[in-house]
């Protein structure tokens, strides 16, 4: 069997690849109801509105005394004490004060509170310094939200603070989009499990564990399909198993032009190929197809190509399927710490560490950018988007970066 000299798949641009993926992943998956306190990271599928004014009554924002501001700074008897959550009810008459704790509802008749640091209480009589205005140290009913206010719109990703908000308004369940189930298959005769003896020429399967970790970090459910050797019928069986179980199938390896690369012809036979190659580095052989209702991504076998292709193309699709209104990673301008030589013919997504320095974002690449060098991913929190060119980019040049991690 001779090797093919030229790929039969047209080369698409990064923009066209993104557009094709956006089309096939545009519709979020179905919805489900989950407990609000377990909803962090999920995406809201139905508008959440406030069931009532919050707070429902005026409350003290300080530890101190509830008073009537119109009484002025006269000495006054302390007739009761109110604590947050306490069941004591009080009616404040003119010329009186009620001892009150932070978060407690104001007694009827009171319109202000004075903090304890400004007061003196002797033998049950309160005096304080300065003037107190109506509404001082009081949170008013409905000041946080009004009944019917939109608390969370559709497409919102539920944060830790949102979990607190949902439970605070008494919402036991929230309707969210279903998380995509993503199956991952590694291919290749040379690929071995991490705990298997490694023969001469063999490689350990780092792609599948790394991709499953990236899938989990994206908020999805991953399924391992193991390793399929370079035998067409075995790969077909594993692919069919993935198609039956998953919303998205990711294969690793078998998408180049070798005599043992069977994935692309198989997917072309089973479904509709959206594109077969991308003018992109690293990861030119990356493909996307749709088989039935399952989106399939064929990623290269080189570990870095696999992970970078996942970040740039697969992750946004997964976030879109789970209803995220902003599925893309943040893209920001950064200054190069060192000079960079662009690829002459393709945009390159270089791994880099981005940090704040003298009030601006500065990027330094993580060393050699070979597509098999996983160490280049080790300290990377960004992918530099380097346009093709013939001229070296000088240190200090401004380029775009996709932020894939935290910046410090």
CATH of the domain at 252: 3.40.980.10
* In a shared domain, residues 188 and 316: yes
- Would you say residue 122 lies in a domain? yes
- Residue 65's Cα: distance from chain center in Å? 44
**Confidence at 257, pLDDT banded by 50, 70, 90:** low
Domain finish residue from 89, 113, 139: 139
* In a shared domain, residues 205 and 254: yes
* In a shared domain, residues 292 and 183: yes
- Would you say residue 132 lies in a domain? yes
- Would you say residue 2 lies in a domain? no
* In a shared domain, residues 158 and 223: no
Look up the CATH number of the domain holding residue 135.
2.170.190.11
Domain finish residue from 303, 321, 339: 321
3, pLDDT greater than 60: no
- Would you say residue 273 lies in a domain? yes
**Contact predicate 303/278, CB 8 Å:** no
**Confidence at 338, pLDDT banded by 50, 70, 90:** very high
- Would you say residue 408 lies in a domain? no
Mean of pLDDT values over 313-323: 98
- Would you say residue 5 lies in a domain? no
Taking the C-alpha atoms of residue 252 and residue 390, their distance in angstroms, rounded to an integer, is: 32
Look up the CATH number of the domain holding residue 151.
3.90.105.10
* In a shared domain, residues 78 and 99: yes
Taking the C-alpha atoms of residue 286 and residue 60, their distance in angstroms, rounded to an integer, is: 60
Report which of 408, 378, 225 is spatially closest to residue 303, judged by C-alpha positions: 378
The pLDDT of residue 321? 98
2, pLDDT greater than 50: no
Taking the C-alpha atoms of residue 322 and residue 180, their distance in angstroms, rounded to an integer, is: 6
* In a shared domain, residues 242 and 280: yes
* In a shared domain, residues 226 and 342: no
* In a shared domain, residues 338 and 358: yes
**Confidence at 313, pLDDT banded by 50, 70, 90:** very high
Report which of 279, 276, 400, 408 is spatially closest to residue 350, judged by C-alpha positions: 400
**Confidence at 4, pLDDT banded by 50, 70, 90:** low
- Would you say residue 75 lies in a domain? yes
- Would you say residue 20 lies in a domain? yes
Look up the CATH number of the domain holding residue 356.
2.40.340.10
- Write out the two tokens for 351: 């791994």
What domain range is 92 assigned to? 59-139
* In a shared domain, residues 234 and 345: no
Mean pLDDT of all residues belonging to the chain: 93
**Contact predicate 161/39, CB 8 Å:** no
Structural domains counted in the chain:
4
Domain finish residue from 321, 339, 372: 321
* In a shared domain, residues 254 and 345: no
- Of residues 255 and 172, which shows the higher confidence score? 172
Q: What is the pLDDT of residues 73-124, one digit of tens each?
A: 899 999 999 988 776 667 899 999 999 999 999 999 999 999 999 999 999 9
Q: What is the pLDDT of residues 203-246, one digit of tens each?
A: 999 999 999 999 999 999 999 999 999 999 999 999 999 999 99
**Confidence at 1, pLDDT banded by 50, 70, 90:** very low
**Confidence at 32, pLDDT banded by 50, 70, 90:** very high
**Confidence at 254, pLDDT banded by 50, 70, 90:** confident
* In a shared domain, residues 86 and 150: no
**Contact predicate 78/65, CB 8 Å:** yes
* In a shared domain, residues 200 and 300: yes
């Amino acid at each position: 069997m001779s090797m093919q000299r030229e790929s039969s798949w047209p080369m698409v641009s990064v923009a066209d690849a993104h557009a094709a993926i956006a089309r096939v992943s545009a519709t979020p998956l179905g919805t489900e109801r989950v407990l609000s306190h377990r909803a962090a990271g999920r995406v809201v599928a139905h508008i959440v509105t406030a069931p009532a004014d919050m707070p429902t009554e005026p409350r003290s924002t300080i530890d101190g005394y509830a008073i009537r501001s119109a009484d002025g700074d006269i000495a006054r008897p302390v007739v009761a004490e109110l604590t947050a959550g306490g069941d004591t009810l009080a009616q404040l008459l003119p010329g009186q004060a009620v001892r009150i704790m932070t978060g407690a509802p104001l007694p009827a008749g009171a319109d202000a509170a004075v903090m304890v640091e400004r007061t003196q209480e002797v033998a049950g009589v309160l005096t304080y310094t300065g003037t107190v205005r109506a509404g001082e140290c009081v949170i008013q009913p409905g000041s946080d939200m009004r009944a019917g206010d939109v608390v969370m719109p559709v497409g919102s990703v539920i944060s830790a603070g949102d979990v607190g908000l949902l439970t605070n308004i008494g919402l036991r369940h929230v309707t969210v989009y279903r998380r995509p189930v993503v199956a991952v298959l590694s291919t290749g005769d040379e690929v071995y499990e991490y705990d298997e003896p490694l023969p001469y020429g063999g490689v350990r399967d780092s792609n599948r564990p790394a991709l499953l970790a990236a899938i989990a970090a994206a908020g999805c459910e991953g399924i391992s399909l193991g390793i399929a050797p370079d035998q067409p019928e075995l790969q077909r069986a594993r692919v069919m198993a993935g198609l039956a179980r998953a919303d998205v199938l990711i294969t690793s390896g078998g998408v180049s032009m070798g005599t043992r690369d069977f994935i692309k012809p198989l997917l072309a036979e089973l479904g509709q190929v959206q594109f077969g190659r991308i003018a992109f580095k690293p990861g030119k052989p990356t493909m996307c197809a749709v088989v039935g209702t399952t989106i399939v991504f064929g990623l290269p076998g080189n570990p870095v190509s696999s992970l970078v292709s996942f970040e740039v193309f697969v992750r946004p699709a997964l976030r879109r399927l789970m209803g995220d209104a902003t599925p893309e990673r943040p893209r920001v301008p950064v200054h190069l710490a060192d000079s960079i030589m662009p690829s002459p013919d393709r945009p390159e997504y270089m791994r880099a560490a981005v940090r704040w320095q003298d009030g601006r974002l500065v990027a330094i690449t993580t060393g050699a950018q070979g597509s098999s060098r996983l160490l280049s991913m080790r300290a990377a929190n960004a992918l530099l988007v380097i346009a093709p060119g013939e001229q070296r980019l000088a240190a200090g040049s401004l380029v775009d970066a996709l932020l894939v991690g935290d910046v410090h």
